[in-house]
Structure 1
């Protein structure tokens, strides 16, 4: 398996919700390895199968460079704190653009591992922001949808300018 090509904004596949994973088999393991290798080659903190154009609910997170990668299958946020934090976010599907995004400070996520075993995890800080960002992507919510209309329009224009450069 190997790193796969990413899809880029405004590809309409980024706005389509991913399908739940129902088969916990070798193909899922291969997909997880491909997503992990693509995450590493893109030097990202998190990546979904959706970023590769694959509509399956799979996230790989490696928030600390060189740290272990964690695979989340069918993740869902089951609890979020009322406290909010704002941090800069961007996407491998819109490289070179980032904006402040407000999210819950802490969350609890329910997911399955590659064997289909249910797990729960509490997350805070950067890890919580990464999980919320990637789960949004699985739900067909590209990160700029969390911006005000004006900031979203500016981000899209900046990205178009970056893409037009030779």
Structure 2
């Protein structure tokens, strides 16, 4: 397993729509193992492959509480197939937008279809943190960031802040 670099806003690759995974290969298994190591080290509860500069529809997730046993989950080619009318608000953060946390409103419940590492298709209902996290990570696969749910003023401020920091880092 290898720790991979997480790409940070304003990196344009974060806006790329990720490609479907056609079959489970040794490279996909290695990617997933690396993503878990990277996600846990960060630390985070979800990571989309595009966040480690791999434009494939792969997500790793573990929403277990810090002191509980780990519950690693893999979602390959995930898609939301149903959403509740009811909404919920969670404070979200993102490993690609460090140190920024904002309230985001999303559907309270979703039904998600995905493939596991054995190539088996699953459908699950998600609510609470699971629903929020899976929606956040699927958004990444579609080039959408949680900032897109914020007001234009707040979003523009955060993007400017990260763009300025990236320019400063590049000049050093």
Same fold (TM over 0.5): yes
Q: Which runs of 5+ in 1 are unaligned?
A: none
Alignment equivalent of 2:103, drawn from 87, 100, 105: 100
Contact residue 10 and residue 163 of structure 2 kept, 8 A: no
* Separation in 2, partners of 1:14, 1:147: 17
Secondary structure of 2:153's aligned partner: helix
How far apart are the structure 2 equivalents of 1:131 and 1:120? 13
Alpha-carbon separation, structure 2, partners of 1:68 and 1:126: 14
Determine if contact 1:73/1:112 at 8 Å carries over to the other structure.
yes
Shift of 1:159: 4.2
CA shift, 1:162, in A, is 6.8
Superposed displacement of residue 160, structure 1: 5.4
Partner of 1:25: 25
Judge conservation of contact 1:97–1:159 (CA < 8 Å) in 2. no
Does 2:101 match 1:86? no
Contact 2:10 2:159 in 1 (8 A): no
**SS of equivalent to 1:150:** helix
Q: 2:128 and 2:165 mapped to 1: Cα distance?
A: 30
Q: Whole-Å Cα distance in 2 between the matches of residues 99 and 162 of structure 1?
A: 20
Aligned partner of 1:136 in structure 2 is 139
RMSD between superposed Cα atoms in Å: 1.8
Tell me if structure 2 keeps the 8 A contact 1:20–1:56: yes
Q: Deviations over 1:131-153 (max 9, x none)?
A: 00000000111221121201212
Deviation at 1:86, TM superposition (A): 1.1
Give the secondary structure class of the aligned counterpart of 2:21. coil
CA distance in 2, matches of 1:154, 1:116: 42
Query: Which ranges of structure 2 fall in alignment gaps of 5 or more residues?
Result: none
Other-structure match for 1:112: 115
Length-normalised TM-score, structure 1: 0.93
Aligned to 2:10: 10
